[in-house]
Amino acid sequence: MAEIRLDQVTKAFGAVTAVDDVSLEIADGEFLVLVGPSGCGKSTLLRMIAGLEEVSGGEIWIGDRDVTDLAPRSRDIAMVFQTYALYPHMTVRQNMGYGLKARRTPKPEIARRVAEVAELLGLADLLERRPAQLSGGQRQRVAMGRAIVRQPQAFLLDEPLSNLDAKLRVGMRASLAQLHQRLGVTTVYVTHDQTEAMTLGQRVAVMRDGRILQCDRPQALYGRPNNLFIAAFIGSPAMNLVEGTVEGDTVHFGQYRVPITKRPDAARVVVGIRPESFEDAAFAPGMPTIQVRVEVLEELGSDAHVFFHVDAPPMTAEVLETASEEGLLATDRALFTARVDARTGARVGGTLELAVDPASFHFFDLGTGARFEAAASPALAAR
Amino acid sequence: MNARRRGRRARQAGWNVLGLAIFVVMVFPVFWMISTAFKSNEQIVSLNPTWFPLHPTIQHFRDAIHRPYFWVDVKNSLIIVSVTVAISIVLAFLAAVALARYRFGGRKLFIVLVIGIQMLPQAGLIIPLYVVLARYHETNALSGVVITYMTFVLPFSVWTLRGFLIGIPKELEEAAMVDGSTRLGVFMKILLPLMGPGLVATSVFAFITTWNEYIFARILLNDQSKQTVTVWLSYFVGSSRHTDWGALMAASSLTAIPVVIFFLLVQRRIAFGLTAGAVRG
């Protein structure tokens, strides 16, 4: 086990910069997730750590060794690929033992370690099969097993769950987290799925256009996204975003005015409101409220999602294009999501009084997308 | 409903008949060659052709084998073919790896040239090739024929092997490198075993082309003791006013045997390779 240190790492393919001046320290035993939309450079960064991609500038350290110019085999890392990359002409046993054999580990030792890991992953009965005879989930476990057997300094995982169906993916996610707890090996995990990133990562680095925008604990990313892109990217359902104006101690967006307790340092801002910052007013007395017309109601059992229109253009700022998926219906009004108590009396087409929690509003710069560290409003400061 | 189903059946039957007809056209010459080889001379020249030999005889085979230079020329053919196929496959595999896996200046141009050269009519190459080989005293020599054959076997092999290689996911090699293999190790332990079917298929084709080649061998080789089987066969026709059809057909059948044996040996591997490669590893 070892820490991994990236120092101003850059990768250029001709005129295109895939990874741009990335510096990052991954602690010994940490589970770090690199997340971002496709083409953001996360896979390239992982492949550079593995040594599969040459570094255009900067340094990569694993433990106390500068591995920037070392071949992949000299870096003592193990990698799990999106396609698993199991050797089709070898049995599961040979697949798992290949790395040890390549490193001239004595045969009894290989047999012992393969058996041990196969037991751990429930592969003991499949050792003599070939990859073609395995299901998707089994292949995934063999790929993990091949990495674990090696007892490397670090695991590099490149979207290892994306080829599995949704149900299996959730199960494997939990197993991965358990495995990491048990083995405690430094892990770098690449995914484009923010749910995977949030549930697995001890820290999550959000990447875009080859840069790391923010690297923090999942809760911090969710609670204090430092720009609009991360605000839109992290969280499901996504944060509601709309352009608004601040006048004194109120913020206007669309047809609504809401009193705020802390003010951003600008008159025109992007207002970000998490779905859970709303509640059916019947269950949250004493909060400011807004009247909404219910467009869609999704009842999930544990809670309900209420969709309603806000009379303001949806955030089509360039910053958001890659962050959130567009809906099917073209609309010139923003569609908001509120997460409310499952006992809500909301009906589609009816009106609903929603309580809002202004203290949890996020404000972003209209031009740069940077987060405003809201100043406490004078009323509170005077106290 | 019924009419439609009948129409579909009729159409299906039509295709089957057409397929059968094509099969017959392709198989008939082979059948006629083998059948004639076993017929007696009277039956062969009879004005009423018969499908099958009435009194099968192996006399023609005896005649053919005992003709001068048969065994010498068989040996020549085997030497030329095996050397050509062996050298071509090794060189073509290495070239295909380079073309499929590495990026270098002129790579695209090279690929286009490799396939472009195949488009040239071979007849147009005869004189230039002869002139070049004569300058290096490679005419009337087996090595000259090997070199000549490689000029068309090599490009073809590079092209097909490259296709097989592209079908092998690059991640397999990357996984092996991360697992601790050197580039050579990856080549020997991962690429080579996975390329087995491709190598076999390509060498079958190279074997058949070179074994059956006639024109270059005819022109480059003068001594009867240095000729190939195809050239030896040609002497049955027109060497005198009378052609010994029985012996010619027997000799032709004999010449086809190595190709058939080779193909039977490897065809199961090819079929296996086609299905095994289809499954994503």
Q: Say yes or no for a CB contact (<8 Å) between B276 and A99.
A: no
In a domain, A72, yes or no: yes
Reported ipTM: the value is 0.83
3 state SS of B190 = helix
CB pairs under 8 A between A and B: 72
A73 part of contact set with chain B, CB < 8 Å = yes
Q: Are residues A208 and A247 in the same domain?
A: no
Calculate mean pLDDT across residues B2-9. 83
Do A214 and A298 lie in one domain? The reply is no
Instruction: Report if residue A231 sits inside a domain.
Output: no
Tell me whether residue A108 is in a domain: yes
* Residue B194 to residue A146, Cβ atoms within 8 A: no
Distance CA(A206)–CA(A216), nearest Å, equals: 9
Nearest chain A Cα distance for residue B84, angstroms? 29
Residues 6+ apart with CB under 8 A from A49: A4, A6, A60, A62, A77, A154, A156, A188
Cβ contact A78–B179 (<8 Å): yes
Any idea where the domains of chain B sit in the sequence?
2-45, 68-276
What would the mean pLDDT of B126-139 be, rounded to a whole number?
A: 90
| Beta carbons within 8 Å of A277's beta carbon, 6+ residues apart | A356, A357, A360, A361
Q: Which pair of structure tokens corresponds to residue A72?
A: 């992949």
Same domain, A165 and A262: no
Residue among B178, B190, B280 whose CB faces A83 most closely: B280
In terms of residues, how long is chain A?
A: 383
Q: Is residue A230 part of a domain?
A: no
Confidence of residue B273 (pLDDT cuts 50, 70, 90): low
Q: Tell me the helices (H) and strands (E) count for chain B, helix number first.
A: 13, 0
Based on the domain organization, do A280 and A219 belong to the same domain?
no
Q: Name the residue range of residue A352's domain.
A: 238-382
What is the domain count for chain A?
2
> Which pLDDT does position B275 carry in this prediction?
46
- What is the DSSP annotation of B209-270? HHHH--HHHHHH--SGGG--HHHHHHTTSSSSSS--HHHHHHHHHHHHHHHHHHHHHHHHHH
pLDDT at B137 over 50: yes
Q: Which CATH number does the domain housing residue A30 bear?
A: 3.40.50.300
pLDDT of residue A331: 63
Residue B138: closest CA among B222, B234, B73, B233 = B222
A99 and B172 within 8 Å at the Cβ level: the answer is no
What is d(CA A122, CA A114) in angstroms, rounded to the nearest whole number? 12
- Same domain membership, residue A179 and residue A276: no
Closest-CA distance, B194 to chain A, in angstroms, reads 7
Cα angle A354, A357, A359 (rounded to 5 degrees) comes to: 165
A127 and A181 in a single domain? The answer is: yes
List, in sequence order, every residue forming a beta bridge with A124; answer none if it has no partner: none
Alpha-carbon distance B171 to nearest alpha carbon in chain A (angstroms): 6
B172/A203 Cα distance (integer angstroms): 30
- Buried b / exposed e over A218-250, threshold 16 CB at 10 Å, is beebbeebbbbbbbbbbbeebbbbbbbebeebb
| Residue A209, domain member (yes or no) | yes
Which residue from A229, A221, A232, A175 is spatially nearest to A198, judged by alpha carbons?
Answer: A221
Of A167, A190, A223, the last residue of a domain is A223
Is residue A46 domain-resident? yes
For B182, nearest residue in chain A (alpha carbons): A73
- Please report whether residue A232 resides in a domain: no
Q: Are residues A194 and A83 in the same domain?
A: yes
Does residue B110 carry a pLDDT above 70? Answer: yes
Do both A326 and A263 map to the same domain?
yes
Q: Is A92 in the same domain as A213?
A: yes
pLDDT, tens digit, 9 for 90 and up, residues A55-103: 999 999 999 999 999 999 999 999 999 999 999 999 999 999 999 999 9
Which of A193, A223, A253 is a domain's end point? A223
Terminal-to-terminal C-alpha distance of chain B? 45
Q: What is the pTM of this model?
A: 0.80
In a domain, residue A229? The reply is no
Query: Could you tell me if B70 and B250 are in contact, meaning their C-beta atoms sit under 8 angstroms apart?
Result: no
Residue B81 tokens, joined: 């073919």
Across the interface, do A132 and B279 touch by the CB < 8 Å criterion?
A: yes
Of A159, A192, A223, which closes a domain?
Answer: A223
Low-confidence ranges of chain A (pLDDT < 50): 317, 322, 376-383
Contacts of B266 (CB under 8 A, 6+ apart): B200, B201, B203, B204
* Residues A245, A146 share a domain: no
Does residue A65 sit in the same domain as residue A164?
A: yes
Q: Which residues of B touch A87 (CB under 8 A)?
A: 172, 175-176, 190, 281
Farthest CA pair distance, chain A: 76
Residues A51 and A189 in one domain: yes
Q: Find, among A145, A206, A151, the residue nearest to A176 by Cα.
A: A145
* pLDDT for position A381: 36
DSSP annotation string for A148-186: HHT--SEEEEESTTTTS-HHHHHHHHHHHHHHHHHH--E
Our measurement of the distance from residue B225's CA atom to the centroid of its chain's CA atoms, rounded to an integer in Å, reads 24
pLDDT at A9: 95
Cβ-based contacts of A99 with chain B (< 8 Å):
179-180
Residue with the two structure tokens 């992953």: A121
Nearest 5°: the CA angle A9, A11, A16 is 140
The pLDDT of residue A382 is: 35
Chain A hits for B179, Cβ within 8 Å: 73, 78, 98-99, 102, 146, 150
Distance between A89 CA and the closest CA of chain B, angstroms: 7
> Which residues is A189 bridged to in the sheet?
A33, A157
C-alpha neighbours within 13 Å on the C-beta side of residue B210: 32
Residue B140's pLDDT band (boundaries 50, 70, 90)?
confident
As a whole number of angstroms, the longest Cα–Cα distance in chain B is: 75
Q: Which residues of A touch B190 (CB under 8 A)?
A: 87
Question: Considering the domain B68-276, what is its CATH architecture?
Answer: Orthogonal Bundle (1.10)
Alpha-carbon gap, residue A92 to A87, rounded angstroms? 9
Q: Output the pLDDT for position B178.
A: 94
pLDDT at residue B74 tops 50: yes
Q: What is the mean pLDDT of residues B149-178?
A: 91
Side chain identity at B116, as an amino acid letter?
G
DSSP state of A281: G
CA distance A138 to chain B (A): 12
